[in-house]
């Protein structure tokens, strides 16, 4: 008698969601995704940041019978997600390069014994012989590909390692697959399905619009301008803030700026050790600080629903990255603000990295030829990478040469890494005359050793040459004896020597590059795609139209409209901030300079008399009341600069109010009469 086995039901999944994750029901899109996965279908999920993508595979993983393998691109991301699962008492683990071989073996053993339901891995892990076979033997119920835009060359974070996943899926026995991402244009969505060979996938797109978020851009000229704008923005908004910076150095500097302005802040980047990293993250998650300043390493997998403000101190290179990071605001659905501090030169940094990712073809060919000329018949390159810039000619910089080497490695033409040998790098410093003059009969062994080296390498020794002591004539005491001789010669400045940390090896010793070696057309396509994405990001910063509509149209969302009445352009609040001239005292980071009796005040370059400053105080009080009524940040009503001009110009009508900087038609009609009443009352009081 056969026993029918029913697939897990959605009711079981809902029970897991309530009992193990504490949510009463699925969000829009999640239910469809979970139903599709439980039915054994391939599934493509596009949910905005904060939409709960991870639950689309985490809940099924606890319902399905076998192991769920989650492919994740970042060590920090998989660690954060596993830590969150373990905190809920859920059986999960990760395997990546941060673990020892013993720790990897322990986790694989737990998976084989059925003690784990989710195993997070990087795509590179499948390069380890036998890893996929062991997982297949365990039994894979679901393969989840997180941040799946990484598999598309049209995506904003293309990673060649993700291209292996299609083959990995086959090696795992072809389990049902769910691919997830927060941001993907129609072209990227099609590419994800193709690259993963998804079988008539169920595609779930809930729309990209986060209606509770308002988008603003402050145009600046310098980092000093940005610092002033950042402090002002934080003072005008309440609640937790995430400030994104481009580099580790920028994180440290901006954190110091905020602390100097008495805004409690901590810095977060990938360079922190684990202990410090946990302390920083805990301080933010437990709200012991107001703001966290971070590189984009922070936020992926972090579930902090009440972030009220996300500020980008530097422009990201793509709208996908910006929208994903900005979307970490307001995950609880309450009004939140996303601010981009933008200077035109921000694009130059991204252009530099794009150029590094796709180096000039002539340079790549020159670097390869230099490697070929200095390699032996086994393809082992007999020089260090640091010597290459001088050998390729022209004005090649070290970073450009490194980019060329990376491209050669990516295409399998060059490999870098130790080969387990006892090879050493030797560079000859002394001339032949000096050797004859200073090495006498008492130094016969040292002199004979240098002669042996010269017979092997000739004058290439002056550039630096990798030598295998086992290939030298006998009589020098083997590897240990050779190192002793070299130490002696180095102490007298005849040579410099070291054990190279890694060696370069050509995949095809002696062969030249040909048209099949590198797909230059694909390289050109990817360069053009990255530059196009950068251009779209900068157009967002400069668009005079609705910013929300701009983003939604970019992602092909039919919800795009001409106006949103919540971005700075639709509200008429767009501002440009420039630093004051050097001879002028810079405004305090805490905001406007307070007025003193009989003195004049300066607010954002608007100079006010004592009476004007008093009126400004009343206008700010009204603005605060309106902001509380509407539950929006104060500057969404009117920024300080606009109120300062009102206090100075004292418009008497709506028509006159329209001439004030920052007053657009929408805000004039919405708030105008209330502010005019305050101005008229002030004028009446002064006249009396």
* Nearest by Cα to 229 from 591, 656, 598, 688: 591
Alpha helices in 419-477 (DSSP H): 432-438, 444-457
DSSP state of 19: I
The string of pLDDT tens digits covering residues 56-111 is 999 999 999 999 999 998 777 788 889 889 988 999 999 987 788 889 999 999 99
Please tell me the distance from the alpha carbon of residue 358 to that of residue 369, in angstroms, as a whole number. 18
- The answer on pLDDT for 230 being more than 70 is yes
Last residue of a domain, one of 173, 205, 237: 205
Is residue 312 in a domain? yes
Instruction: Name the domain count of the chain.
Output: 4
- The answer on pLDDT for 145 being more than 50 is yes
Last residue of a domain, one of 152, 183, 205: 205
Is residue 587 in a domain? no
The per-residue pLDDT of the chain, averaged, comes to 84
* Nearest by Cα to 505 from 405, 362, 404: 405
The string of pLDDT tens digits covering residues 558-605 is 888 999 988 999 998 887 765 443 333 344 443 443 333 333 444 444
341: confidence class by pLDDT, cuts 50, 70, 90: very high
Average pLDDT of the segment spanning 644-663: 84
Residues 225 and 195 in one domain: no
Q: What CATH number is associated with residue 649?
A: 1.10.150.80
* Domain of residue 90, residue span: 10-205
Residues 190 and 219 in one domain: no
Please tell me the distance from the alpha carbon of residue 243 to that of residue 490, in angstroms, as a whole number. 50
Residues 468 and 559 in one domain: no
- The answer on pLDDT for 546 being more than 90 is yes
Q: Any idea which of 112-126, 129-143, 492-506 has the lowest mean pLDDT?
A: 492-506
Average pLDDT of the segment spanning 498-504: 61
What percent of the chain lies above the pLDDT cut of 90? 37
Is residue 394 in a domain? no
Last residue of a domain, one of 158, 186, 205: 205
The string of pLDDT tens digits covering residues 380-437 is 887 777 778 888 876 777 778 888 888 888 788 987 654 445 667 788 888 888 888 8
Residues 184 and 223 in one domain: no
Task: Estimate to the nearest angstrom the gap between the alpha carbon of 437 and the chain centroid.
Answer: 58
Full-prediction pTM beyond 0.75? no
Residues 264 and 342 in one domain: yes
What is the pLDDT at residue 543? 94
What is the pLDDT at residue 589? 40
* Contact partners, residue 71, CB within 8 Å, separation at least 6: 121, 122, 123, 143, 144, 145, 146, 162, 165, 168
What is the pLDDT at residue 422? 62
Residues 227 and 273 in one domain: yes
∠ CA 412-414-419, nearest 5°, is 110
Residues 248 and 198 in one domain: no
139: confidence class by pLDDT, cuts 50, 70, 90: very high
Q: Any idea which of 180-194, 204-218, 258-272, 603-617 has the lowest mean pLDDT?
A: 603-617
Is pLDDT larger for residue 677 or for residue 469?
Answer: 677
Residues 247 and 273 in one domain: yes
270: confidence class by pLDDT, cuts 50, 70, 90: low
Is residue 408 in a domain? no
Is residue 527 in a domain? no
The string of pLDDT tens digits covering residues 146-166 is 989 888 877 777 777 788 899
* Nearest by Cα to 292 from 303, 304, 283: 283
Residues 218 and 196 in one domain: no
Is residue 4 in a domain? no
Q: What CATH number is associated with residue 323?
A: 3.40.50.300
CA distances, 59 to each of 23, 31, 54, 102 (Å) = 11, 11, 9, 29
262: confidence class by pLDDT, cuts 50, 70, 90: very high
Is residue 655 in a domain? yes
Residues 127 and 63 in one domain: yes
461 with 428: CB under 8 angstroms?
yes
What is the pLDDT at residue 532? 92
Is residue 522 in a domain? no
First to last CA, the chain: 101
Residues 220 and 167 in one domain: no
Residues 188 and 65 in one domain: yes
């Amino acid at each position: 008698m056969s026993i029918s086995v029913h697939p897990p039901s959605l009711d079981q999944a809902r029970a897991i969601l309530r009992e193990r994750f504490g949510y009463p029901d699925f969000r829009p899109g999640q239910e469809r995704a979970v139903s599709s996965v439980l039915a054994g279908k391939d599934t493509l999920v596009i949910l905005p940041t904060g939409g709960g993508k991870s639950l689309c595979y985490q809940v099924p993983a606890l319902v399905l019978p076998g192991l769920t393998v989650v492919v994740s691109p970042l060590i920090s991301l998989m660690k954060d997600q596993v830590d969150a699962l373990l905190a809920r008492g859920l059986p999960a683990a990760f395997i990546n390069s941060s673990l020892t071989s013993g720790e990897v073996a322990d986790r694989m053993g737990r998976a084989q014994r059925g003690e784990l339901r989710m195993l997070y891995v990087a795509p590179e892990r499948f390069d380890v012989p036998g890893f996929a076979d062991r997982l297949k033997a365990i039994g894979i119920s679901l393969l989840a590909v997180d941040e799946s835009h990484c598999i598309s060359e049209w995506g904003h974070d293309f990673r060649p390692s993700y291209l292996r996943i299609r083959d990995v899926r086959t090696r795992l026995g072809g389990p049902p697959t769910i691919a997830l991402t927060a941001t993907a244009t129609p072209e990227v969505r099609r590419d994800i399905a193709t690259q993963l060979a998804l079988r008539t996938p169920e595609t779930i797109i809930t729309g990209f619009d986060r209606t509770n978020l308002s988008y603003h851009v402050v145009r600046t000229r310098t980092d000093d301008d940005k610092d002033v704008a950042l402090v002002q923005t934080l003072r005008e908004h309440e609640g937790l803030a995430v400030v994104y910076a481009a580099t580790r150095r920028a994180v440290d500097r901006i954190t110091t700026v905020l602390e100097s302005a008495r805004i409690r802040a901590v810095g977060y980047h990938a360079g922190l050790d684990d202990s410090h990293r946990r302390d920083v993250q805990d301080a933010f998650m437990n709200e012991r600080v107001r703001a966290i300043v971070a590189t984009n390493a922070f936020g992926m997998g972090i579930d902090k629903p009440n972030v009220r403000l996300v500020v980008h101190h530097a422009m990201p290179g793509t709208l996908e990255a910006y929208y994903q990071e900005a979307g970490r605001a307001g995950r609880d659905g309450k009004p939140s603000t996303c601010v981009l501090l933008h200077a035109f030169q921000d694009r130059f940094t991204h252009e530099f990295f794009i150029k590094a990712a796709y180096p000039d073809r002539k340079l790549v060919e020159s670097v390869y030829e230099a490697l070929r000329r200095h390699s032996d018949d086994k393809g082992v390159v007999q020089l260090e990478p640091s010597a290459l810039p001088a050998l390729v000619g022209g004005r090649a910089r070290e970073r450009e040469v490194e980019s060329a080497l990376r491209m050669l490695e990516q295409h399998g033409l060059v490999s870098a890494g130790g080969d387990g040998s006892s090879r050493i790098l030797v560079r000859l410093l002394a001339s032949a005359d000096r050797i004859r003059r200073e090495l006498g009969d008492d130094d016969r062994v040292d002199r004979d050793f240098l002669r042996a080296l010269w017979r092997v390498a000739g004058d290439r020794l002056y550039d630096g040459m990798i030598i295998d002591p086992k290939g030298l004539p006998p009589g020098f005491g083997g590897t240990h004896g050779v190192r002793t001789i070299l130490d002696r010669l180095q102490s007298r400045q005849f040579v410099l020597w070291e054990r190279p940390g890694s060696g370069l090896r050509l995949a095809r010793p002696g062969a030249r590059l040909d048209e099949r070696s590198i797909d230059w057309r694909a390289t050109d396509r990817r360069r053009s795609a990255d530059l196009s994405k950068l251009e779209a990001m900068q157009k967002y910063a400069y668009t005079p139209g609705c910013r929300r509509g701009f983003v939604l149209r970019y992602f092909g969302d039919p919800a795009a409209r001409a106006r949103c009445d919540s971005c700075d352009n639709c509200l008429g609040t767009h501002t440009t901030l420039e630093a004051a001239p050097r001879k002028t005292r810079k405004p305090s980071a805490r905001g406007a300079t307070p007025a003193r009796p009989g003195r004049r005040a300066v607010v954002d370059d608007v100079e006010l008399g004592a009476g004007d400053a008093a009126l400004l105080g009343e206008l700010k009080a009204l603005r605060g009341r309106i902001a509380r009524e509407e539950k929006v940040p104060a500057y969404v009503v009117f920024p300080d600069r606009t109120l300062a001009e009102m206090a100075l110009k004292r418009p008497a009508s709506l028509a006159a109010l329209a001439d004030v900087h920052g007053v657009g038609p929408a805000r004039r009609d919405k708030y105008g009469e209330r502010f005019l009443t305050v101005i008229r009352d002030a004028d009446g009081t002064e006249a009396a």
